[in-house]
Amino acid sequence: MSGIDTQRLRRAVRDLADPPGGAGWNTAELADALGDGPLRPAAVLVPFVQRGGELSVLFTRRANHLRNHAGQISFPGGAIDPGDADAVAAALRETEEEVGILPGDVEPFGFLDGFDTVSGYHVYPVTGFVRGGYFLRMHEAEVDEAFEVPLEFLLAPANLRRERIDWRGKARTIYAYEWEGRRIWGATAAMLKNLIDRLERSA
């Protein structure tokens, strides 16, 4: 699936006027663990960086001292606050807070499908193009590192692995990548798999 350009990405994702609503596509798998309690809405930015004719995806590595998901690779984002106008505003706010990328350096262009997490969030993945000359100013209390991975690597079928893990006594399938000694897995890799699926359907 090499040669993905910005126009194909725009066609593959949900329109900004059509955010994913209701339960996410991971709901059935998590029903026993989450019970019937409400999920808290959250938003992440899936940042595509444009450098000439090449595209990459920006990730963060969460600080090792955090209580939840310490040290894990993720997209910038977090809970949607009452003051946020919508999921897009929340994703942009969290991105600026975590890594210092200004909203003016991001062009949001759509959504991936909603995703329900084991930590009790319904996540709205906002896709956006980030200006290649962005400036990083990382919030050291939340983020230890930010790095880019070529989109071509993430879309290559050989680089996405399916793994079986034991979670709360039940077998569960997860997706994972390995990139230069970093492990991208869990919800982050699952959202990338959703991107792959949407690209294939839109071809």
| Residue 72: CATH number of its domain | 3.90.79.10
Each of the 203 residues of the chain gets a pLDDT tens digit; together they read: 456 889 999 999 999 999 887 655 554 444 444 455 678 999 999 999 988 788 999 999 987 655 555 568 999 999 999 999 999 999 999 999 999 999 999 999 999 999 988 888 899 999 999 998 898 998 877 788 999 999 999 999 999 999 887 766 677 788 999 999 999 999 999 999 999 999 999 87
User: Is residue 163 in some structural domain?
Assistant: no
User: Is residue 185 in some structural domain?
Assistant: no
Whether this prediction's pTM lies above 0.85 is answered by yes
Q: Which 3 state secondary structure label does DSSP give 118?
A: coil
User: Is residue 137 in some structural domain?
Assistant: yes
User: Is residue 108 in some structural domain?
Assistant: yes
User: Is residue 140 in some structural domain?
Assistant: yes
CA distance 190 to 125: 11
To 5 degrees, how large is the angle CA 34–CA 154–CA 52?
130
Phi, psi of 151 (to 5 degrees): -60, -35
pLDDT given for residue 171 in this prediction? 72
User: Is residue 191 in some structural domain?
Assistant: no
User: Is residue 45 in some structural domain?
Assistant: yes
User: Is residue 61 in some structural domain?
Assistant: yes
Q: Which domain holds residue 130?
A: 6-152
Specify which residues 14 forms β-bridges with.
111
Residue recorded with tokens 């294939």: 200
| DSSP at 168 | T
Number of domains in the chain: 1
- Identify which of 165, 167, 162, 164 has the alpha carbon closest to the alpha carbon of residue 32: 167
